Amino acid sequence: MLRHLVRTIDPRGLEDLFAQLDSLIYDFVRHLRGHEPKEAHDSDIIALPVRNGGLGIPLFHETAQQTYNLCSKLSKKLLLSLGYSSPDQEPPDDPHDPGDPDPPTTIQELASSTTKQYLGRLASSTNLFEKRVLLENSSFLGRRWLSILPTTKTLIIADTELEYGLQTRFLIGTTTHNLQDLQNHQSSQNPSLTCLKCTNQVKTSLNHEDTCRAASRGWIKRHN
């Protein structure tokens, strides 16, 4: 519903409401993940598409004007092609991106452009280990749980599992070491990373989720 509104309603004069809406969404997500401390990259992860490791909830305050301008131009072009008249007034240029030499011409191109902006900001604010976690979150298995509807008892996700999944997706509990510390860890094979499930230090070069004794085994299933 909100995605449709920003395409049809001129957001000029509504910036404070869109900012408030983004804040309410952020507060609710923080409630679901356990009220962990705020991080600088939280908003980018919320807006990042699920296939890229985020939640896929757009930042309305940041994208509303661009979305409305683009949809207005596309609607006018379609009306003219069908023989209908439309107002001659063009929507104003986006003040956040003046003089774009290659502006997006479709909603898909606009989404791709904003996704690149989010990824660029995340690349500059995360270390190497956090980038690896983000890459794992964008994998098929890493994002599959977000698309499962709890229509049966076997598909229901417990509150603790949801909280842990969101914390992992927001890079909470990952290492805070800088890149040099991580390189030293890789060279010495003496990591100081702590598993959130078994609370033990990760002491193997293999994926710890495959060897952690506290992790649930997806390949074990009751059968007749």
pLDDT digits (tens, 9 = 90+) for 177-222: 434 444 454 444 444 566 666 666 665 545 666 666 666 655 555 5
**Residue 70, domain member (yes or no):** yes
At 95 the pLDDT is 47
The per-residue pLDDT for range 11-66, each reduced to its tens digit, is 888 889 989 999 999 999 988 888 777 888 899 999 999 999 999 998 888 888 88
169 occurs within a structural domain = no
Residues with Cβ within 8 Å of 2's Cβ and at least 6 positions away in sequence, in order, are 21, 60
What's the CA gap between 102 and 35, in Å, rounded? 40
Q: Is 155 within the bounds of a domain?
A: no
- Residue 205 pLDDT: 47
160-169 burial by CB neighbour count: b if 16+ within 10 A, else e?
eeebbbbbbb
- CA separation for the pair 79, 86 (Å, rounded): 7
What is the tally of structural domains in the chain?
1
How far, rounded to the nearest angstrom, does the alpha carbon of residue 101 sit from its chain's CA centroid?
27
Confirm if 56 and 2 have CB atoms less than 8 A apart.
no
Residue 52 included in any domain: yes
Residue 53 lies in a domain: yes
Question: In this predicted structure, what is the pLDDT of residue 178?
Answer: 39
Instruction: Tell whether 224 is covered by a domain.
Output: no
Residue 18 covered by a domain: yes
- The pLDDT, as a whole number, for residue 144 is 87
What is this structure's pTM?
0.66
Domain span at 25: 2-127
Give me Rg for the CA atoms of the chain: 22
Rounded to an integer, what distance in angstroms lies between the CA atom of residue 193 and that of residue 175?
Answer: 6
Cα distances from 165 to residues 41, 171, 192, in angstroms, run: 17, 10, 22
Q: What is the pLDDT of residues 89-136, one digit of tens each?
A: 555 555 445 556 677 788 888 889 899 999 999 999 888 888 888 999
Q: Is residue 11 part of a domain?
A: yes
